[in-house]
Amino acid sequence: MSANNANKKRSQELIDENLKMAFSETLDEGIPDRFKDLLAKLKDTASDKSSEEPKK
């Protein structure tokens, strides 16, 4: 493996590690209550609309 390829590989590994850390921290934050409330409202609206559609 040439030095250039080794450097590219190491750079990619560092990027991967940093992205994993960033997303891991984000996942640990959880979902704010206001978003949970919004998701619940959207789910209820979708359920209401699907029950109003005529059955074939």
Helix (H/G/I), strand (E/B), else coil: 1: coil
Mean per-residue pLDDT of the chain: 87
Inform me whether the pLDDT recorded for 2 exceeds 90.
no
Q: Could you report the per-residue pLDDT of 4-19, keeping only the tens digit for each?
A: 999 999 999 999 999 9
- What is residue 48's predicted lDDT score, i.e. its pLDDT? 83
Give me the residue spans of the domains in the chain.
Answer: 3-52
